[in-house]
């Protein structure tokens, strides 16, 4: 069991293959849980479709559409939410009443979010024309622009170089504080988890062994496997 409070940042850490990404996919509704329940704001989400959960997920690969510009990528969730299927059609949609006003509102929200993330100068570029750090910011903007109930991040910094990764950690924490939305952040990097999170959940072999503040995880591990994983250099038993 794992509970996230309002506005809390939880890092889910563990070795590769322990089930971290699977847990995120279950929360997002992309995979089906064999048992158990998922509650968001007191509402049972177990039978709710992924599209209706209002949960935003940032993938390790960023999952940007290569044929769309950064601005168009960021606008995708807003267009899906605010425009009807007919209004989204390229030629027919523009002739429907109210479509232009909705599109204008989407453009304003996209530019506002891009300004916050300092990528407003990249809105006309396609993913292939951007660096890894820039693509990462576009993926974050696409997740944040819809104002979701929960953020799920699956190792979003793993493709960045060391210097940019350290800088991006601080940016993600700052963005989280501004949004005030519960965030579950998956990583296998102990230093990343301990430096960013309000609480750290250590997962090994499909089991959640400890959920506590970073200081408690490091200084008072509840399980020998937690001590083995978190300590650097590895604990000598």
Encode pLDDT of 130-189 as tens digits.
Answer: 988 888 889 988 988 888 889 999 988 877 777 778 877 888 888 888 888 899 999 988
Where along the chain do its domains lie? 1-54+148-237, 64-130
> 226, 209 in Cβ contact below 8 A?
yes
198-234 pLDDT, tens per residue?
999 999 999 999 999 999 998 888 999 998 888 777 7
**Angle ∠(190,8,217) on CA atoms, nearest 5:** 35
CB neighbours of 10 closer than 8 A, spacing ≥ 6? Answer: 2, 4, 182, 183, 184, 185, 197, 198, 199, 200, 201, 211
| Cα gap 8→10, rounded to integer Å | 6
Angle between helix axes 99-116 and 132-144 (nearest 10 degrees) is: 130
In CATH, the number for domain 1-54+148-237 is 3.40.50.300
Whole-structure pTM value: 0.82
Tens of pLDDT along 47-79? Answer: 899 888 989 888 878 889 999 999 999 999 999
Q: Which position has the higher pLDDT, 107 or 84?
A: 107
Whole-angstrom distance, CA of residue 79 vs CA of residue 89:
11
Return the closest-CA partner of residue 82 out of 69, 70, 99. 99
In angstroms, the CA 14 to CA 1 distance is 16
Across the chain, mean pLDDT equals 88
């Amino acid at each position: 069991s794992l509970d996230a409070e309002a506005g809390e940042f939880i890092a889910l850490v563990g070795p590769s293959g322990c089930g971290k990404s699977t847990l995120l996919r279950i929360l997002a509704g992309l995979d089906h849980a064999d048992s158990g329940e998922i509650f968001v704001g007191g509402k049972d989400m177990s039978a709710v479709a992924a599209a209706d959960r209002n949960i935003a997920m940032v993938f390790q690969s960023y999952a940007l559409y290569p044929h769309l510009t950064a601005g168009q990528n960021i606008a995708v969730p807003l267009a899906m939410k605010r425009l009807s299927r007919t209004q989204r059609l390229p030629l027919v949609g523009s002739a429907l009443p109210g479509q232009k006003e909705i599109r204008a509102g989407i453009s304003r929200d996209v530019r506002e979010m891009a300004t916050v993330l300092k990528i407003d100068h990249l809105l006309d570029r396609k993913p292939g024309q951007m660096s890894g750090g820039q693509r990462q910011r576009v993926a974050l903007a696409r997740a944040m622009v819809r104002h979701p109930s929960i953020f799920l991040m699956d190792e979003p910094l793993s493709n960045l170089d060391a210097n940019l990764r350290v800088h991006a950690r601080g940016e993600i924490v700052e963005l989280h504080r501004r949004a005030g939305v519960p965030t579950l952040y998956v990583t296998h990097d102990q230093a990343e988890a301990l430096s960013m999170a309000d609480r750290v959940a250590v997962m090994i072999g499909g089991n959640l062994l400890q959920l506590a503040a970073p200081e408690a995880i490091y200084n008072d591990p509840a399980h020998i496997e937690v001590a083995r994983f978190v300590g650097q250099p590895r604990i000598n038993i």
